[in-house]
Each structure stands twice: as structure tokens, then as C-alpha cells.
Amino acid sequence: MWTNGLRIGGKLAFFAVCVSCVSCSGDSGGSNGNGGSLGASTGGSSLGSAGGSTGGNAPSGFGGSAVGAAGTVLTGGALGTGGNVGEGGTVATGGGAVATGGVIGNTGGIFATGGSLGGASNKSTGGSQSNTGGLANSGGVTAIGGKSGGICPGGPYPAPVLSGTPTRVYNATGNGLFEGTVWDSNAGVLFFSNMSTGSTNPVVPSQVQKLTPPGTVDVAVTDSGTNGLALDVDGSLLACSHKVQGIVRVNPAAGTVSTLLNTDSNGKHFNSPNDLTVRSDGTIYFTDPDYQLGSSRTSETGTKGIYRVTPARQVSLVDGTFGEPNGVVLSPDESTLYVADTTGNAIRKFTLASDGTASGKVNFATITTPDGVAVDCAGNLYWASNTPGKVIVFSPSGTQLGSITVVTDATNVAFGGTDRKTLYISAGMAIYSLALNVPGYPY
């Protein structure tokens, strides 16, 4: 993205529990493989021996099926400490075996706290139930945070239909640029950064704003100094801050911002962090160009880098060779990290090990002035092409599937809405939406 000739950006992507390698049961919150359904919210039946919901009655307070030690005991539809959900473990008495990485339901499913499922790590495992949230109607319990099975209810997914025309749902006046779109399913709103382009001394001013569909916008944080936004594994809002030159946590309800980190492993301040994405174990990847370094600051690191931050807040440089690193996103199975090089007109990808370390950088696709990005449940990438004012869509193999024309200064994209099939696009000082036929991730 550009600000008075300076490029800005930010995008975030991450979590999802239900991906191509993970099988999820339906929205009824119950069926698991050939197993039974979860108990009723009144503490009703346990998993049936033949996969039904008519299994033996559990006493009130011991509600749904006993699934894993991660369950919380609550009155009605809560979890016991019984059977295991693990790698091939069995669920309760007579419940079907859960395949490695299996997930239980959308409205009554259980996610081990913060854990990844099975052998492959998945976006937002351990996250809060999207849309249905916390306690599910059928008595299931989800852990706090992130994204869960409601985002990707199970494939296969159709090829995206990209023939529609985006609708402008909000337009502001003034000298600025919208950035960092992210959908918060708990609040049912789209957060974004409103960056002023009228000043760079000492840094570009910025606010966090929220759009309540269809088009009502309010200020959430008046002086955030933010660009790219993302959701942490606990569901809280994270942001790249060029104001503090680091990663911050945003509290929209209180209108406050707190700094998580703003120096590298050598104690040097970053330039102007631009975009970030969060893995299901809490690892943060972010880009650090110098677009919003400001007129009174100089680079301390001397590097326009891509960084990895472990859950223990240990910082390491992934790559320092990009011209201007910008949008960044994870593949649904979290095995690949995609990063835009805006001045290089390229998207590059890295292979991620199980511990989150990156290697094997290769060119993924060519695109004019790539900015922010989102990913759908099939792993297709929706990349904002800033100068042409388009969203270019790529398959996981790098094949261009098509494009969506918006207006110039297209900066970012995010999937939102109750079914996660609304693509929100920020361009200039406007927000656009487009209904699609495939769900996707909130940033």
C-alpha cells in the first residue's frame, strides 16, 4: 500500500482447525466418525454405542461425552475427564474412534487448549468456536481464542467463483488509507486501521476502527499507531505498530494498546512493522519494511526483514533480503509461509518445520505491487494488488485462478460474515464486500 508515495501494508492470516488434512463433523455438534453424538445441553445422553444420541443417560453435570482431560466440567453439556481425544483415541463408551487430527463438531466440539490436532498443526487449534463461540448449544465446550471448526466445516470446497462485483459498504473522506482488515466473529465486526497520509513526522497517525455490517463504522482506538491486524490464539487483537516499532495488543473495548515487543534479539528497534500472522501455537510472523519509519527516525537494524516470534517471545530473523516485505499469511495446514515483496512484484514462500522454523525460500508468483492477503479454506490465496486495484487469486500451486477488480490502492482482504463467505476488501479510504461460494479465514 502507498502513503504519499510510501508503501504501506499489512495483512494477517492464520488459524483454522478444519482444513484439508483435518476431518470435521457437522454443525449439529455431535457426530464424530462413526461415533455417537455429543450429549444434550441439559447434561443428557452420552455418546451412543452405535453412533446415535440415545446412549445411556449421564447424570446432570456430567453432560456430554467424556472427551480428553482438556474438557471443562460444567452443568449441562459439560465434559467429564473420561475417554481420550488424541491420536486415534476413542471417544467415550461406544463413540467412534477419532482419526488423528479429528475434530468434534462445530456446536459442541472440543478443542484441547492451544494444542494442534493430530500430527499436523492446524490454524487456530485451541481457538474459540467461531460464531457459536464458547459453550455450544449441544453441550460442547471449546477453549478460548482463535478460530475453530465453524470456519472450515469440511471439504471438498468448490472452485471460487470470482465473477461478482464488489459492493462499497463504507467510504470515508479525507487524506488517509485503510489497512489491516480482520474479522472478529465474537463481536461480529470487521476491524481495520485508518492510516492518515497527511503526516510522517514523527510517524504516520493511525486509528483502529470497526465496521459493523452492513456499513456502520466507529472508532475503537483513537491513537493506535497501527497497520496490519491479526487475531491471537486467545482471540485478542494483535497489531503491527509503526508508532512503537513493534507488535502490540489492542483492547478495543477499553480503547487501549499495550506493547508486546519492539526490539530484535540484539536490542535494536524494528523499522515499522507492517503485517503479521499467528500460528496455532502462538508463533507470530511479521514483516518489517521501512514505509512508516517516519521523518525523524533511522533504521537501527539496517534490515527490511521478516521475523519469527516464538510463544516465549524469542525473536529470530527469517529473511532479510526482500526489497520491501509486506503481506504475510500461513497456509491452512501451517506448513507454508507466504510473503509479499512489494518492490520486487513477487510473492515468495517458505517451508515451515513443525517447530515453526522457516527454510527453502522459493518464488511462488509474480504480481504487481502485492500488499495484504487472505486465504480460503481450500488454501487459495487472495492477494491485494495495490496499484492496479485488484485482488489476484492463486491456487496453492501458484496457478492464477482469476482476479477481482476493485479500485486503485487495494490494500487488504479478509473473510468474514456469519458463514465466512464474505470477502472484505480495503482500498483507499473505502471498504468493499463480495459474497463468495467458499469460506475463508478472518485475515
Q: What is the pLDDT along the chain (443 residues), one digit of tens a residue?
A: 433 333 333 333 333 333 333 333 333 333 333 333 333 333 333 333 333 333 333 333 333 333 333 333 333 333 333 333 333 333 333 333 333 333 333 333 333 333 333 333 334 333 333 333 333 333 332 222 333 345 788 889 999 999 999 999 999 988 889 999 999 999 999 999 999 866 666 778 999 999 999 999 999 999 999 999 999 999 999 999 999 999 999 999 999 999 999 999 999 999 999 999 999 999 999 999 999 988 789 999 999 999 999 999 999 999 999 999 999 999 999 999 999 999 999 999 999 999 999 999 999 999 999 999 999 999 999 999 999 999 999 999 999 999 999 999 999 999 999 999 999 999 999 999 999 999 999 99
Residue matched to cell numbers 519469527: 308
Residues facing residue 319 across a β-bridge: 306
Nearest to 135 by CA among 160, 157, 112, 109: 109
Do 430 and 407 contact (CB within 8 A), yes or no? yes
Task: Measure the CA–CA gap between 321 and 347, rounded to whole angstroms.
Answer: 13
In 353-389, at which residue ranges do the beta strands (DSSP E only) sit? 358-366, 370-375, 381-385
Going along the chain from its start, the domains and CATH numbers come out as 17-150 (no CATH), 158-435 (2.120.10.30)
User: All 3 cell numbers of residue 399?
Assistant: 496457478
Q: pTM for this one?
A: 0.69
Do 80 and 20 contact (CB within 8 A), yes or no? no
Calculate the alpha carbon distances from 156 to 17, 124, 159, 443 in Å: 15, 20, 10, 21
Task: Measure the CA–CA gap between 75 and 305, rounded to whole angstroms.
Answer: 50
Task: Measure the CA–CA gap between 19 and 438, rounded to whole angstroms.
Answer: 13
